[in-house]
Chains A and B, each alone.
Chain A
């Protein structure tokens, strides 16, 4: 578990933006928090998983994918901004992510 500092928030945002710009072959300046992952970037759900792997390694996270899966079903992600918020919640709460709903 980590406290989300401004530095972490900035770092996560940069990684997410760069990842989508690179994978979807779009100019990073075309991406903002309101950008739709599917409709605007032609992205896919697998990208979410790949980002989780990146953050798991970067922040040494202890989190099971099924926990994220259950949470994501209740809190679907459609935009870049929503995805960043979800990643920050994962970094902050790890396996206690589901407790947020109680």
Chain B
């Protein structure tokens, strides 16, 4: 039994907004969510900027979270839960009308953010706030979902893995619906200090909105972001059966381990290239069908260089004709949430026919010579798009998404068209 998998609900909380619509509007406008850190006093840190979720989030989330449960969650868990509630609403699913044993929850979680910035933690709540399965658990509890519910941690690729596992479960007939995504925030003193020690972060504090500059020659490291992205994955048959709106289709994926270095990507982007190639094969997509790549694009020297090399290795001369952009130029690097957030942006690109820009692209790097959609969004008839996620420890993921056609199948596209 092999099912096609579609996305019927999405939601996004980030530095650029508390809803999918607000985020998308700001993303296509090329706005930056990066600013000076306000969650704690960063004066002793080399990096003093981040892409923080707006402070209005706490008030906003109260309409979705009961006080009692909210007190047992961290701010990050509240972001995840709120995003899940909005994604379910977007999907229009009534869980009272579906087989809840066939509904699962998979969240990509690096940490729950129970750090020194978390306030009002009582001894009774410490465990619940810290356990990394809590986001999946709270969502299952909310909707009384009794299918598989778990967390996956593969660093910056975590929520891309969550989507991949959700896709696999539906494809293989183990579930009809999977709520997949992730949330993260490492905007706290300890972790920024740690990443500063690795020279991984941008130290271009002024002006903050210019600091994240993927693929630009003057890039000097990534900017930490925070947020949540949640998708409702559903078998196409199930979605059509309830006349659901379909945002996009998931055609396939690849997850690999580079087994090379705990921090650095494999030289010349070999591991990344293998992942992209495997994903295309898994999805049954030809190279010339790919019309957009939402890059991992961290704004670090090595990632952007190697990701460019990987794309060229896989696509050859075609690489120069495929637009590649980095959402992290606007949202910063949301770590465990990045895979889901960027998959959502990729799906929105397919659905709306708009490629978000790579902002702060000011100085072309002679070695990085692809089309990075510099600074201005672009309209395009997109049919197949990739979303790359590459994590510390060599955890790689590439998701392959397709535009959903409601009418006559488009020539050149395989199943799901």
Chain A residues within CB distance 8 Å of chain B: 22-25, 42-44, 46, 49-50, 53
21 A-B pairs with CB atoms under 8 Å apart are: A22-B67, A23-B67, A23-B68, A23-B71, A24-B66, A24-B67, A24-B68, A25-B66, A25-B67, A25-B68, A42-B66, A42-B68, A43-B68, A44-B68, A46-B72, A46-B124, A49-B124, A50-B122, A50-B124, A53-B123, A53-B124
User: Could you give, for residues 61-98 of chain B, a 1 whenever the CB lies within 8 Å of some chain A CB and a 0 otherwise?
Assistant: 00000111001100000000000000000000000000
Question: With a CB–CB cut-off of 8 A, which chain B residues contact A43?
Answer: 68
Instruction: Please measure, in the bound complex, the distance between the C-alpha atom of A46 and the C-alpha atom of B66, giving whole angstroms.
Output: 16
Least distance between A11 CB and chain B CB atoms (Å): 22
The secondary-structure label for the interface of chain B is helix
Least distance between B37 CB and chain A CB atoms (Å): 32
User: Could you give, for residues 119-145 of chain B, a 1 whenever the CB lies within 8 Å of some chain A CB and a 0 otherwise?
Assistant: 000111000000000000000000000
The secondary-structure label for the interface of chain A is helix
Question: With a CB–CB cut-off of 8 A, which chain B residues contact A50?
Answer: 122, 124
Instruction: Please measure, in the bound complex, the distance between the C-alpha atom of A33 and the C-alpha atom of B366, giving whole angstroms.
Output: 76
Instruction: Please measure, in the bound complex, the distance between the C-alpha atom of A25 and the C-alpha atom of B72, giving whole angstroms.
Output: 15
Least distance between B63 CB and chain A CB atoms (Å): 12
Instruction: Please measure, in the bound complex, the distance between the C-alpha atom of A46 and the C-alpha atom of B71, giving whole angstroms.
Output: 12
Question: With a CB–CB cut-off of 8 A, which chain B residues contact A25?
Answer: 66-68
Least distance between A68 CB and chain B CB atoms (Å): 14
Instruction: Please measure, in the bound complex, the distance between the C-alpha atom of A53 and the C-alpha atom of B71, giving whole angstroms.
Output: 17
Question: With a CB–CB cut-off of 8 A, which chain A residues contact B67?
Answer: 22-25
Instruction: Please measure, in the bound complex, the distance between the C-alpha atom of A49 and the C-alpha atom of B128, giving whole angstroms.
Output: 15
Instruction: Please measure, in the bound complex, the distance between the C-alpha atom of A52 and the C-alpha atom of B67, giving whole angstroms.
Output: 20
Least distance between A39 CB and chain B CB atoms (Å): 15
4 extra interchain contacts, Cβ-Cβ under 8 A, other than A22-B67, A23-B67, A50-B124? Answer: A23-B71, A24-B68, A43-B68, A53-B124
**Top 8 A-B pairs ranked by shortest CB distance?**
A23-B68, A25-B67, A46-B124, A50-B124, A49-B124, A24-B68, A25-B66, A23-B67
Question: With a CB–CB cut-off of 8 A, which chain B residues contact A23?
Answer: 67-68, 71
Across the two chains, which residue of chain A brings its CB closest to B62? A25
Instruction: Please measure, in the bound complex, the distance between the C-alpha atom of A24 and the C-alpha atom of B66, giving whole angstroms.
Output: 8
Question: With a CB–CB cut-off of 8 A, which chain A residues contact B68?
Answer: 23-25, 42-44
Instruction: Please measure, in the bound complex, the distance between the C-alpha atom of A14 and the C-alpha atom of B67, giving whole angstroms.
Output: 20
Instruction: Please measure, in the bound complex, the distance between the C-alpha atom of A42 and the C-alpha atom of B66, giving whole angstroms.
Output: 10
Across the two chains, which residue of chain B brings its CB closest to A25? B67
Instruction: Please measure, in the bound complex, the distance between the C-alpha atom of A43 and the C-alpha atom of B71, giving whole angstroms.
Output: 13
Across the two chains, which residue of chain B brings its CB closest to A23? B68
Question: With a CB–CB cut-off of 8 A, which chain A residues contact B123?
Answer: 53
Across the two chains, which residue of chain A brings its CB closest to B125? A46
Least distance between A57 CB and chain B CB atoms (Å): 13
Instruction: Please measure, in the bound complex, the distance between the C-alpha atom of A42 and the C-alpha atom of B67, giving whole angstroms.
Output: 12
Least distance between A65 CB and chain B CB atoms (Å): 11
Instruction: Please measure, in the bound complex, the distance between the C-alpha atom of A25 and the C-alpha atom of B66, giving whole angstroms.
Output: 8
Across the two chains, which residue of chain B brings its CB closest to A46? B124
Least distance between B192 CB and chain A CB atoms (Å): 33
Instruction: Please measure, in the bound complex, the distance between the C-alpha atom of A43 and the C-alpha atom of B72, giving whole angstroms.
Output: 13
Q: Which of B162-186 contact A (CB under 8 A)?
A: none
Least distance between B14 CB and chain A CB atoms (Å): 28
Question: With a CB–CB cut-off of 8 A, which chain A residues contact B72?
Answer: 46
Question: With a CB–CB cut-off of 8 A, which chain A residues contact B71?
Answer: 23
Least distance between A74 CB and chain B CB atoms (Å): 23
Instruction: Please measure, in the bound complex, the distance between the C-alpha atom of A49 and the C-alpha atom of B130, giving whole angstroms.
Output: 19
Q: Which of B39-75 contact A (CB under 8 A)?
A: 66-68, 71-72
Across the two chains, which residue of chain B brings its CB closest to A50? B124
Across the two chains, which residue of chain A brings its CB closest to B72? A46
